[in-house]
């Protein structure tokens, strides 16, 4: 038997609204089965990098949090800091980006908490039962200490994972900086000598004698560095960074193991919106033309079934002409595309354009990714099943 996944499209009749339909979806999917009374509820959402416009509108989060509050819960919106240098790599900048993108208490009715603290080092180590790659996941403290996990995901493409769905929102998203480094990298960090100012902050916060300042520039000591990522968190100029060298299928498996750590032993509920399906993650400071038309909203207790249902629905859609999934766009020169020249003729633009023919839109955009590896591994870990029954909500 597959897991139940509820689905609602984006059509509404006069007098109805998308937000009302969203609430009906959540209720039909069984959110009332969870006892929220006086429980802390971590609502995991991606607030969007500032400059990106594809992230989910905050109104969806408000409706979801209102549903939880109506059932006696204490929800808060949360995410962990990023590993790379950007608007969200420390809690203060992260909150600025979240508030600018609409995720503030006045708009959502709940507080926003950066789960892994000021620098991304506030974490809890949680054992991964059955983990092959990760023995103890490093999870943002606020998520680890919550009673209930609810994920609200913008389903989109991703350069490493293939697509970003519920598993990535939970697993990668709830990892502290050290955790994100563990998922992204198979070894030690690297130093950009051009950015290093030789301040020694990395040395002061290394417990393993794994970094030294030599002639005014930090140098990683490969014999002592354990890859914990603390130096990345404390570097004031972003000169220390991960090597981003983990094999992509292995990274997806690590994401599944982190997801298991976050969800084990806790009630959980998951919602994914297949809207504005950008080719890349909301972590980017920009977004591109959606690769497919809007599909709709999905909800389930099973994040594996949810991801499978979303990717199946996405791959039944026609590819949007002129998007990065269009084969002729991929063949066009970058300069022509950036100059605004029409890269595609008006005639039919591939046999994939009609949709529903077995194409994989995410492999079309990122051919060297393997999104199925993560779902297979999550199923093996007992997080959920790729088999599902789709229930349509009007």
CA torsion sign, 189 to 190 to 191 to 192?
Answer: negative
CA atoms within 13 A on the CB side of 28: 19
Domain boundaries, the chain: 3-185+246-317+355-392, 190-241
Instruction: For the chain, state the CA radius of gyration.
Output: 21
| pLDDT on residue 357 | 55
Whether 190-241 and 3-185+246-317+355-392 are alike in CATH topology: the answer is no
Q: Is 209 left (phi over 0), alpha (psi -120 to 50) or beta?
A: left
Query: Are 96 and 107 spatial neighbours (Cβ–Cβ below 8 Å)?
Result: no
The pTM assigned to this predicted structure is: 0.86
Q: Which fold has domain 190-241?
A: Alpha-Beta Plaits (3.30.70)
d(CA 232, CA 227) in angstroms, rounded, equals: 10
d(CA 290, CA 346): 18
Per-residue pLDDT of the chain (394 residues; tens, 9 = 90+): 799 999 999 999 999 999 999 999 999 999 999 999 999 999 999 999 999 999 999 999 999 999 999 999 999 999 999 987 778 999 999 999 999 999 999 999 999 999 999 999 999 999 999 999 999 999 999 999 999 999 999 999 999 899 999 999 999 999 999 999 999 887 788 999 999 999 999 999 887 899 999 999 999 998 888 777 778 878 999 899 878 777 889 999 999 999 999 999 999 999 999 999 999 999 989 899 999 999 999 999 999 999 999 999 999 999 999 999 987 665 543 334 334 333 333 332 333 344 445 689 999 999 989 999 999 999 999 999 999 999 999 9
Neighbours of 351 (CB within 10 A): 9
Beta strand pairing status for 148-154 and 40-44? Answer: parallel
pLDDT, position 313: 97
Longest dimension (CA), the chain: 70
Distance of CA 80 to the CA centre of its chain: 10
> Within a 13 Å sphere around the CA of 99, how many CA atoms are in the beta-carbon half?
11
Domain 3-185+246-317+355-392 sits in CATH at 3.40.50.11440
Do residues 309 and 384 lie in contact, with contact meaning Cβ atoms separated by under 8 Å?
no
Long-range contacts for 122-126 (Cβ within 8 Å, ≥24 apart)? 122/176, 123/176, 123/178, 123/179, 126/261, 126/262, 126/264
How far, in Å, are 82, 217, 231, 237 from residue 207 at the CA level?
Answer: 22, 19, 10, 20
Sheet holding 296-300, edge to edge: 112-114, 74-79, 40-44, 148-154, 268-274, 296-300, 3-8, 388-392
Q: How many Å apart are CA 379 and CA 272, to the nearest integer? A: 19
Q: Is the CB of residue 301 less than 8 Å from the CB of residue 29?
A: yes
Q: Decide: 71 and 36 in contact? Cβ < 8 Å.
A: yes
């Amino acid at each position: 038997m597959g897991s139940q996944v509820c689905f609602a499209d984006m059509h509404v009749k006069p007098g109805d609204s998308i937000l009302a339909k969203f609430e009906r979806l959540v209720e039909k999917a069984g959110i009332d089965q969870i006892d929220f009374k006086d429980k802390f509820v971590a609502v995991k959402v991606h607030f969007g990098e500032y400059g990106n416009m594809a992230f989910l509108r905050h109104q969806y989060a408000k409706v979801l949090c209102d549903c939880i509050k109506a059932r006696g819960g204490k929800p808060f919106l949360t995410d962990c800091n990023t590993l790379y240098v950007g608007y969200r790599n420390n809690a203060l900048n992260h909150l600025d980006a979240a508030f600018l993108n609409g995720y503030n208490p006045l708009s959502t009715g709940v507080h926003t908490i950066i789960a892994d603290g000021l620098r991304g080092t506030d974490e809890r180590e949680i054992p991964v039962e059955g983990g092959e790659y990760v023995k103890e996941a490093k999870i943002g403290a606020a998520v680890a200490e919550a009673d209930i996990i609810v994920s609200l995901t913008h389903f989109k493409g991703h350069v490493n994972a293939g697509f970003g769905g519920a598993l990535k929102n939970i697993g990668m998203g709830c990892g502290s900086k050290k955790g994100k480094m563990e998922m992204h990298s198979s070894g030690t960090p690297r130093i950009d000598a051009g950015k290093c100012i030789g301040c020694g902050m990395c040395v002061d916060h290394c417990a393993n004698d794994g970094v030294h300042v030599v002639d005014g520039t930090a140098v990683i000591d490969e014999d002592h560095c354990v890859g914990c990522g603390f130096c990345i968190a404390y570097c004031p100029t972003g000169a220390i960074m991960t090597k981003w060298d983990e094999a992509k299928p292995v990274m997806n498996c690590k994401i599944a193991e982190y997801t298991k750590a976050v969800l084990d032993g806790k009630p959980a509920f998951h919602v994914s919106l297949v809207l504005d399906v950008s080719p890349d993650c909301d972590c980017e400071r920009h977004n591109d033309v959606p690769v497919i038309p809007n599909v709709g909203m999905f909800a389930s207790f099973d994040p594996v079934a949810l991801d499978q249902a979303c990717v199946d629905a996405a791959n039944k859609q026609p590819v949007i002409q002129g998007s990065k999934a269009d084969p002729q766009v991929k063949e066009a020169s970058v300069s022509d595309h950036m100059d605004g020249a029409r890269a595609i003729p008006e005639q039919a633009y591939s046999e994939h354009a009609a949709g529903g023919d077995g194409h994989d839109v995410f492999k079309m955009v990122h051919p060297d990714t393997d999104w199925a590896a993560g779902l297979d591994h999550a199923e093996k870990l007992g997080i959920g099943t790729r088999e599902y029954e789709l229930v349509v909500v009007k």
